[in-house]
Amino acid sequence: MESYLSLAIAILAAPLFPGIILKVKAFFAGKKGPPLLIKYYTLAKLLQKGSVYSNSTSFVFTLGPTVSLASALVVLLFFPFAGADPLFSFHGDVIVLFYLMAIGRFFTVIAALDTASPFEGMGAAREVFFSTLAEATIFTILILFYRLNGSLSFAEYFTGENPISLAGASGALLLFAIVSLFMVLLTENSRVPVDDPATHLELTMIHEVMILDHSGPDLALIELGAFYKLFFYSAFITHLMYPFTLAHGISNGVIFYIIIAIIYGAVGMTESIMARYKMNLVPKFILTSFALVFFAAILTMGVFQ
């Protein structure tokens, strides 16, 4: 029951948090900013509209939004939100889930290429390049976690006897993991300094330019998938920062959503105080995240065992 409830709350609440990013950015700019529920309004607006399809597109174009949403949803089914047991879990599920996210990306990319637009092709090329680099970081994080407690699933990482968390015995190593995971979060979810969701020039976009031709409910599904993806990464970091095995039920949930809000706030703050990188700096940014967590994985060989 607790599992269903926490999953349902996560699914319903995920579109709320990007509103926090906008609020934080507005605060830094000295503006009032859009209402917190702005993303719900956007979704509702998009769902009421019809769509315009390009003459160049085929069925692949319509598969993009659905596959990316489906892959984002499956990931949520396996994640122990606020320490509640997930609906499904097995030894090795993290590998499957990160590959499922990859298939979501694959279809987003080929849907972009389906439009025959030069801009969307450019965005697609950047997206696949940066994600291949981010994949190395993610798998090194999984290597580190396996070294720390011998598990290969989200439930084993964060519930169980010996959860991975900052408070644990090798918390120092997790600082590396948290920082690099935050960098991966920024990359995979197209945030500043890798990508700028608010930019107006197509030539400088990555993710936004890939979905230029999507409209109406299709666009809503893509947005929803993106909210879930960002929510998943934030929840991942949240669990690393605080172990949710100590208390029970309500208090866990409250702490969980407070930390999530802080992480979204941090994303907003990063966006406010940093400019986006030039494209040729982005690989270096991602490789930095890899180097950090690789270093941590090497340290498990002697010092922290």
Partner 1 sequence: MDTFLLSLIVLFAGGIFSLLTYRQFNLMKGAYIAITAIGCLAGLFSIMTPLQEPSVVVTFSRPWLHLFTLSFTLDALSAFFLIPIFAVCPLAVLYSFHYMDKADRKGSTGVNFFFFNILIASMALVATADNIISFALVWEIMSISSFFLVIYDYQKEETRRAGYIYFIFSQAGAMFIFAAFALAYSRTGSYDFAAFAGMPGTIKIIVFFLALVGFGSKAGIFPLHMWLPHAHPAAPSNISAVMSGVMIKMGIYGIIRLYAVLDVTDLIFGQTLLTLGAVSGVLGVVYALGKHDLKKLLAYHSVENIGIILIGAGIGMIGIASDNMVMASFGFAGGLLHVLNHSIFKSLLFLGAGAVLQKTKTRHIDQLGGLIKRMPITGKSFLIGSVSISGLPPFNGFVSEFLIYYGAFHGLTLSGSSFIFTMFGIISLAIIGGLAAACFSKVVGVVFLGEPRSENAAMAVEAGGTITLPMIILAASCLVIGIFPDPFVQSAFSGMRAIKVLVPVTAPEVAIVTANLALAARLFLGMLLFSLVLRKIFYRNKVIERGPTWGCGFTQPTVKMQYTATSYARSVINFYRPFVLIRDSYSGISRIFPGRTTYETRVDDIAETALTDQVVTPILYLLSKFRWIQHGHIQLYIAYIVVTIIVLLLFL
Using CB under 8 A as the binding rule, whether residue 291 contacts partner 1 is answered as: no
Q: Which residue has the tokens 């993303």?
A: 39
Cβ proximity to partner 1: between 196 and 271 the closer is 196
Tokens read off for 141: 């994080």
Q: Which residue has the tokens 């089914």?
A: 77
- Measured CA to CA, the distance from residue 108 to residue 214 in angstroms comes to 11
**Contact region for partner 1 (CB under 8 A) — 10-18, 147-155, 185-193, 268-276?**
147-155
Tokens read off for 87: 């609906």
Contact positions with partner 1 (CB under 8 A) in 215-234: 216-218, 220-221
User: What is the C-alpha R_g of the chain?
Assistant: 19
Contact positions with partner 1 (CB under 8 A) in 69-88: 69-71, 73-74, 77, 88
- Measured CA to CA, the distance from residue 13 to residue 43 in angstroms comes to 13
Largest CA distance in the chain: 60
Cβ proximity to partner 1: between 64 and 268 the closer is 64
Residues binding partner 1: number (CB under 8 A) = 79
- Binding to partner 1 by CB under 8 A, coded x per residue (else -) over 250-289, reads -----------------------------x---x------
Using CB under 8 A as the binding rule, whether residue 160 contacts partner 1 is answered as: no
Cβ proximity to partner 1: between 66 and 245 the closer is 66
Contact positions with partner 1 (CB under 8 A) in 111-130: 112-122, 124-126, 128-129
Q: Residue 161: count other Cβ atoms within 10 Å of its Cβ.
A: 7
- Measured CA to CA, the distance from residue 37 to residue 16 in angstroms comes to 6
Residue from the set 156, 188, 196, 213 that interacts with partner 1 by CB under 8 A:
213
Residue from the set 12, 44, 85, 132 that interacts with partner 1 by CB under 8 A:
132
Give 223's DSSP letter.
Answer: H
